[in-house]
Amino acid sequence: MNGRWAADEPNEDTWRTAQLVLVRHGESWWNAEGRVQGQGGTGLSDRGHTQAADVADHLLATYPQPASVFSSDLERVTQTAQPYLDRAGRVAELDKRLREIDSGEWTGLLTSEVAVRFPEQIAAVRRGEDIPRGSGENFAAMRARVAEALRDIARRTVDGAEPAGQATAIVFTHGGPIRVATAEALQLPPGGHRLLDPPDNCSVTVLAVPVGQTGEVGQFRLSGYNADHLTRTEATKNSQDAVGEPHR
């Protein structure tokens, strides 16, 4: 008995569960410099490469036989995934829907520069308005595309699984997508991701997603958020930038 009341669950005789293991990328050079990355940015810093190797150890030990592996196509994420893929003998399927929020004209700027050059946008963000960042994308749009991607991944992950069975997908992505996916699992209202601490570099968040035999996807469930499994002694925490969001 897992502590959940059976009446709250889909029919376990027919539904299967996709376990989605969401891994945030390691520290990038732009992370270290305090620049807004969005869908631009650099590859991993030296620290980021160490983090990627460490989280690969955790994934290999904890999820030895995942059904599938997916990744954002941005460089800082593909570099994070590579140590795991090399050791597991796997190939990740790239999905652009797993990208970070598009920060538009903010991309590449120091957060202090964003505050100076876009004061009206910063004021709107601080009022809680979900505006397109730098005329790029807003969080509602990112939440919709990420939820769509994860539902598709859940369906594909359990394809061929037995009724009442479970299959695991490793998903390498970014802090923003992890926050909005968690907000979706908790059924938080629009903007509810702001209630969640930003995921740390190479932290692990786990969602359970029920999938029916005909492909219908149930409500995401949160199994664990922002867990730091790295072996380093110095914790790597994200600083907050001038607009209240992490340096993604």
24: which strand partners? 173
Positions annotated as catalytic residues are 25, 100
Q: What is the CATH number of the domain that holds 142?
A: 3.40.50.1240
| Predicted confidence (pLDDT) per residue in 52-97, tens digit | 999 999 999 999 999 999 999 999 999 999 999 999 999 999 999 9
What number of other Cβ atoms are within 10 A of residue 19's Cβ?
20
Residue 97, helix vs strand vs coil: helix
Residue 248 is predicted with a pLDDT of: 53
Residue 5 is predicted with a pLDDT of: 57
Residue 10 is predicted with a pLDDT of: 57
Bind-site residues for substrate: 24-31, 76, 126-127
What number of other Cβ atoms are within 10 A of residue 1's Cβ?
5
Residue 241 lies in a domain: no
Residue 9 is predicted with a pLDDT of: 61
Residue 236 lies in a domain: no
Residue 115 lies in a domain: no
Residue 111 lies in a domain: no
Residue 24 is predicted with a pLDDT of: 98
Residue 40 is predicted with a pLDDT of: 96
Q: How many domains does the chain have?
A: 1
Residue 245 lies in a domain: no
Helix residue spans in 89-203 (DSSP H): 111-117, 119-126, 139-158, 175-185
Q: 């299967």: which residue's tokens?
A: 16
Residue 14 is predicted with a pLDDT of: 83
Residue 232 lies in a domain: no
Show the tokens assigned to 70.
């997916």
Residue 108 lies in a domain: no
Closest CA to 118 of 176, 141, 126, 41: 126
Residue 121 lies in a domain: no
Task: Give the CA-trace dihedral at 115, 118, 119, 123, to 10 degrees.
Answer: -90
Q: What one-character-per-residue DSSP string does 196-240 give?
A: SPPPPTT-EEEEEEEE-TTS-B---EEEEEEE-----SS---PPB
| Residue 186, domain extent | 10-101+138-227
Which stretches in the chain have pLDDT values below 50?
Answer: 1, 232-244, 246-247
Residue 237 is predicted with a pLDDT of: 44
